[in-house]
Amino acid sequence: MSTFDWKSQVVVVTGASAGIGASLSRAIGRRGGAVVLAARRAKELEEVAASTGAATATVVADVTKRADVQRILETALQRFGHVDAWVNNAGRGLTRSVLDLSDDDIDTMIRDNVKSALYGMQTVVPHFKERKRGHVLNVSSMLGRIPFASFRSGYCAAKHALCSLTENLRMDLATEFPEIKVTCVYPGVVYTDFGKNALNGGVDSRTIPGGQTPEEVAEVIAGAIESRNSGDVYSRPEAIETVVGFYRGLAAAR
């Protein structure tokens, strides 16, 4: 039987004003946890916070700025005294193939999808080390495992980089700090504004068959927090076989 007590948990969620982040904030609230919600849009952020039914703190912040990320932690500590889990969820897409990528495209994808999460990890892990426990969760993408959408090439590359940083952090902490868990989350297509908000335009994610709702993905992430999973989490269990099959096929093709 699980001894996990949601009522004692304080969870930071970035990108919390919409999509997966908003749904996750509500899922945590339903379970009795406290939520620190961070995003750039003040009005939407406050509306999501009000809908959680939980103890909350909101921080209008741009997570591509290290000082803003530090301010998220400071707000959490001032409001609740500690942080138990930190979810690096904010990110952004791009529609452009490899040969058309510009310097600005790559810089933007790294800034929005890699450095934003890196700042989160570097900011909160010292706090976790002091407490000897904690949980970092980085929301990547299936495109960070299988680059099967070449029109998202820059985004795929950035999410691959995020996966690598996540795995490296996990290895760095495993021996000395085994109670600091590090998880990489791999959603597939999610019915949010992601596609519409992608740089250079793109297909509305809600029109792609076989996707999931943000609520479904949020439940998976909440489950990973509760189980204190330290590893990879896929929003659909069958996705693991897809990944294994992809790399097996690459090996067989040599």
- Domain segments of the chain: what residues? 6-252
Q: In whole angstroms, what is the distance from residue 185 CA to residue 144 CA?
A: 10
Query: In terms of residues, how long is the chain?
Result: 254
pLDDT number for residue 95: 95
- Are 136 and 180 in contact, with CB atoms under 8 Å apart? yes
Nearest one of 57, 54, 55 to 74, comparing CA atoms: 57
- Are 235 and 23 in contact, with CB atoms under 8 Å apart? no
- Are 198 and 205 in contact, with CB atoms under 8 Å apart? no
Residue 69: φ, ψ to 5°:
-65, -40
- In the set 119, 155, 191, 234, the catalytic residue is 155
pLDDT number for residue 253: 67
- Are 69 and 47 in contact, with CB atoms under 8 Å apart? no
Q: In whole angstroms, what is the distance from residue 80 CA to residue 55 CA?
A: 9
The domain defined by 6-252 folds into Rossmann fold (3.40.50)
pLDDT number for residue 1: 39
pLDDT number for residue 197: 85
Residue 155 appears among annotated catalytic residues: yes
Per-residue pLDDT of the chain (254 residues; tens, 9 = 90+): 358 999 999 999 999 999 999 999 999 999 999 999 999 999 999 999 999 999 999 999 999 999 999 999 999 999 999 999 999 999 999 999 999 999 999 999 999 999 999 999 999 999 999 999 999 999 999 999 998 899 999 999 999 999 999 999 999 999 999 999 999 999 999 988 888 888 888 777 777 878 899 999 999 999 999 999 899 999 999 999 999 999 998 887 66
pLDDT number for residue 2: 52
pLDDT number for residue 163: 97
In degrees, rounded to 5, the angle at the alpha carbon of residue 215 between the alpha carbons of residues 212 and 216 is 50
DSSP count for the chain of H helices, then E strands = 9, 7
pLDDT number for residue 254: 63
Amino acid symbol at 150: S
pTM listed for this prediction:
0.94
- Are 35 and 11 in contact, with CB atoms under 8 Å apart? yes
Nearest one of 142, 233, 250, 245 to 194, comparing CA atoms: 142
